[in-house]
Chains A and B, each alone.
Chain A
Amino acid sequence: MDKHATRLEQSIVDARKKKDILLMTHIVLGYPSFDDSLRVVEDMVKAGVDLMELQIPFSEPMADGPVILKANAEALKAGATVEQSFEMAERLTKEFDIPFLFMTYYNILFCQGIEAFVDRCKSIGIQGCIVPDLPPSEGQDYLDAMHKAELAPVHIFTPNTPEPRMRFLSDNSSGFIYSVARKGVTGKDTAFSEELESYLTTCRENTSLPLAVGFGVKSADDINFLRGKADIAVVGSETIRVMETEGVAGVKPFIETLVA
């Protein structure tokens, strides 16, 4: 694919000139409520988060662990709709000057219509999408639509991914590559080890896109480990866990410990 840097990639590259590692966080829209989503994002941006994944809740989040799974279920139980997620995302992109991505499962796109979904992303200022159950071989329509809209389809590298497949995924991605630090689902512990370091070296060798690392990243130590090895540290389940134990007000102090 003929690739030029998307707006997302460019803003990551620019931000990296000022910081040696960026922080991306993850929230589930509508959990515990849309008002809370707005407050949490505001706190995160104030605390210094550089970019954010907004998950549109889905009833069958196959790749997510217990924390995010529960957040999806609770958001839906509270009546969250895809339309409400779009509206909230539009508000967020207007109010806060950081890149926002959607993370969701393919059925959400499929039921909206792929092109309609991507057009809507474009019109509300979303810069990229992560769709964990959509490998490129199943997603040509999606890739074409994203490419046309100059939005970034982000794909995932895993410790099981062979190098030729990494290059294939990279060729089909823009913005950045999301590299998961270990097997399994979101929200479990990860060993930040030499093994991880050598895997990240392999990732780096197989893509020229910025590299984000997630799954099990939850402390300043974890982020320090990733400094110099990745461009973006992704803190996902942990912020949701903090929200659960300490309430929405606990998010800002937590993020501040990460970026200190």
Chain B
Amino acid sequence: MKNSGYYSQFGGAFIPEILVPTFDELESAYLEAREDESFWQEYLELMSTYSCRATPITKLDNLTEQLGGANIYVKREDLNHTGAHKANNVMGQGLLTRRMKKTRVIAETGAGQHGVATATMAAKFGFDCTIYMGAHDVERQRPNVFWMEQMGATVVAVTEGSQTLKDAINEAFRDWVTNMDDTHYVLGTACGPHPFPEMVSWFQSIIGTEARKQMLERTGKLPQRVYACVGGGSNAMGIFSGFFDDKEVELVGVEAGGRGRGSGEHAARLAYDDASIGVAQGYKTFFLQDRDGQMQDTHSVSAGLDYVGVSPILSHLHETEQVRFEAATDDDVVAAMQRTVRHEGLIPALESSHAFAQAYKEAPMMSSDDNILINMSGRADKDIFTVADAVHDPKWTEFIIKKADAYRREMNNG
């Protein structure tokens, strides 16, 4: 009757009974939208007038020369409105929400990028908006919380569990099982129950479609390798999908290696051997879990990759070896980011910097006839506090202390 949303053994829809009609409705709306060519036209129009599509491709001339191997190109998803690829998914689901005549949206957010993007979309479309964010992430990502609230969203700090992305997802589901009649859950990544993995990948495929064409126009050939960071996996699915039919292009997904292999403090589901197949948050995939099936704490310098599961589509592509998975450690990631800032003037988000780190490791071993493409899924403005700590910038510390003193004086006088 309908696609059950399986990619070999991964995926499915393990949902509470109360949401079954809601998922039926969502799947129908999504399938109708896919059939309706005017929907995609409307989407492209929206993305080119409200966001910054098509995003360009930038060649890293200085680092290509420094590293002395492959020519390094970057797909600039950071130039989207709100500074990340998240906008692609959110605006698409916004159009779908309008089609379903719902008036409220909810979303989970890790780094806060998806939350900001959703709040932006809600402000534009006139939807009520509630964002669930792990309390730990609220701490790490204050600037994003600030903007979500400015845009009229209610930000709920989730204090359950490990207080990160997975807990925010659970809370969003708890809201949805109560308010499904007027509310759409804008899931932020290519995970969760069917049809989310497929639907989110469809909206994100705009990245890969553009990138393939741009690489051909710019270099006259396809890139040898394409790199993307993998948290839930939506930016990776987005850029990879442009090259699925090109057997000669090697696709490389880079997970959060945290403190490294064997440390137990990372979020590498596919690149390391610590994850196993399980079912949680409505879908079947590789999870970082113990033998009983309890989800474990993950660690990454980047909130957006700090997640126990991974897109079921990517688990499938891992098994079929259509995508190679690697992990970059926190230290390598911060170094890759600093290098990119210093020598190219680009500011990749800590999430995206995982892809840069792996590409910089491999580029020197490739030929100068080869081209590689990195998906710069977002920019790092939001990471300024984390990055300032990571690079131990004394002037930043001094600034924060002064700022805090000024606020304190103001409060005491008021």
Q: B177, A110: Cβ atoms under 8 Å?
A: no
Within 8 Å by CB of B17, from A59, A108, A135, lies A135
Please list 19 pairs of residues, one from A and one from B, whose beta carbons are closer than 8 Å in the complex, sorted by A's number: A60-B161, A70-B160, A81-B292, A82-B292, A106-B279, A107-B278, A111-B278, A132-B16, A132-B17, A133-B14, A155-B17, A156-B16, A158-B17, A158-B18, A160-B21, A160-B180, A161-B17, A183-B180, A185-B177
A residues 126-172 touching B (CB-CB < 8 Å): 132-135, 137-138, 155-158, 160-162, 165, 169
A116 touches B (CB below 8 Å): no
Q: A60, B280: Cβ atoms under 8 Å?
A: yes
A180 touches B (CB below 8 Å): yes
Known contacts A73-B161, A135-B15; is-contact A183 B279 (Cβ 8 Å) = no
* 8 residue pairs, one from A and one from B, having the closest CB atoms: A111-B293, A184-B178, A107-B293, A158-B18, A59-B294, A156-B17, A59-B295, A63-B16
Chain B binding surface, main DSSP class: mixed
Q: A135, B14: Cβ atoms under 8 Å?
A: yes
CA distance A138 to B282 in the complex (A): 11
Complex contacts, B292 vs chain A, CB 8 Å = 81-82, 108, 111
A78 touches B (CB below 8 Å): no
Extra inter-chain contacts (18) besides given A63-B177, A133-B14, CB under 8 Å:
A62-B173, A62-B282, A106-B279, A108-B293, A110-B278, A110-B279, A111-B276, A111-B291, A134-B14, A135-B20, A137-B4, A137-B13, A156-B18, A158-B18, A160-B20, A161-B21, A183-B180, A188-B178
A69 touches B (CB below 8 Å): yes
Interface residues on B, range: 20 to 34
Q: A138, B14: Cβ atoms under 8 Å?
A: yes
B289 touches A (CB below 8 Å): yes
Min CB gap A147→B, angstroms:
20
Q: B178, A185: Cβ atoms under 8 Å?
A: yes
Complex contacts, A169 vs chain B, CB 8 Å = 17
User: Which chain B residue shows the least CB distance to A180?
Assistant: B18
Known contacts A165-B20, A184-B178, A185-B178; is-contact A60 B295 (Cβ 8 Å) = yes
Complex contacts, B17 vs chain A, CB 8 Å = 132, 135, 155-158, 161, 169
A82, A169, A183 — most chain B CB neighbours (10 Å): A183
B166 touches A (CB below 8 Å): yes
Q: B178, A138: Cβ atoms under 8 Å?
A: no
Min CB gap B174→A, angstroms:
5
CA distance A61 to B294 in the complex (A): 10
B214 touches A (CB below 8 Å): no
Within 8 Å by CB of B174, from A105, A135, A165, A185, lies A185
Q: A133, B16: Cβ atoms under 8 Å?
A: yes
Complex contacts, B14 vs chain A, CB 8 Å = 106, 133-135, 138
B281 touches A (CB below 8 Å): yes
B residues 1-49 touching A (CB-CB < 8 Å): 4, 12-18, 20-22
Q: B20, A161: Cβ atoms under 8 Å?
A: yes
B residues 151-176 touching A (CB-CB < 8 Å): 160-161, 166, 170, 173-174
Known contacts A73-B161, A137-B4, A138-B12; is-contact A183 B282 (Cβ 8 Å) = no
Complex contacts, A105 vs chain B, CB 8 Å = 280
B residues sitting closer than 8 Å to A (CB atoms) are 4, 12-18, 20-22, 160-161, 166, 170, 173-174, 177-180, 276, 278-282, 289, 291-295
CA distance A12 to B18 in the complex (A): 25
CA distance A60 to B177 in the complex (A): 15
CA distance A111 to B293 in the complex (A): 6
Complex contacts, B173 vs chain A, CB 8 Å = 62
A residues 49-68 touching B (CB-CB < 8 Å): 58-63, 65
Min CB gap B308→A, angstroms:
9
A residues sitting closer than 8 Å to B (CB atoms) are 58-63, 65, 69-70, 73, 76, 81-82, 105-108, 110-112, 132-135, 137-138, 155-158, 160-162, 165, 169, 180, 183-185, 188
Within 8 Å by CB of B13, from A70, A107, A138, A180, lies A138
CA distance A57 to B233 in the complex (A): 29
Q: A107, B289: Cβ atoms under 8 Å?
A: yes
Q: A62, B18: Cβ atoms under 8 Å?
A: no
CA distance A132 to B280 in the complex (A): 12
Q: B161, A184: Cβ atoms under 8 Å?
A: no
Complex contacts, A134 vs chain B, CB 8 Å = 14
Complex contacts, B293 vs chain A, CB 8 Å = 58, 82, 107-108, 110-112
CA distance A69 to B12 in the complex (A): 24
Min CB gap A67→B, angstroms:
12
Q: B13, A135: Cβ atoms under 8 Å?
A: yes
Complex contacts, B174 vs chain A, CB 8 Å = 62, 65, 184-185
CA distance A162 to B17 in the complex (A): 11
Within 8 Å by CB of B280, from A73, A81, A107, A165, lies A107
Min CB gap A167→B, angstroms:
14
User: Which chain B residue shows the least CB distance to A134?
Assistant: B14
Min CB gap B283→A, angstroms:
10
Min CB gap B5→A, angstroms:
10
User: Which chain B residue shows the least CB distance to A169?
Assistant: B17
User: Which chain A residue shows the least CB distance to B19?
Assistant: A160
CA distance A97 to B381 in the complex (A): 63
Min CB gap A181→B, angstroms:
11
Complex contacts, A107 vs chain B, CB 8 Å = 278-280, 289, 293
Complex contacts, B16 vs chain A, CB 8 Å = 62-63, 132-133, 156
CA distance A75 to B281 in the complex (A): 20
CA distance A70 to B158 in the complex (A): 13
User: Which chain A residue shows the least CB distance to B291?
Assistant: A111
CA distance A232 to B65 in the complex (A): 74
CA distance A156 to B17 in the complex (A): 6
Q: B170, A60: Cβ atoms under 8 Å?
A: yes
Complex contacts, A110 vs chain B, CB 8 Å = 278-279, 293
CA distance A76 to B20 in the complex (A): 29
Min CB gap A203→B, angstroms:
12
CA distance A134 to B15 in the complex (A): 7
Q: A160, B18: Cβ atoms under 8 Å?
A: yes
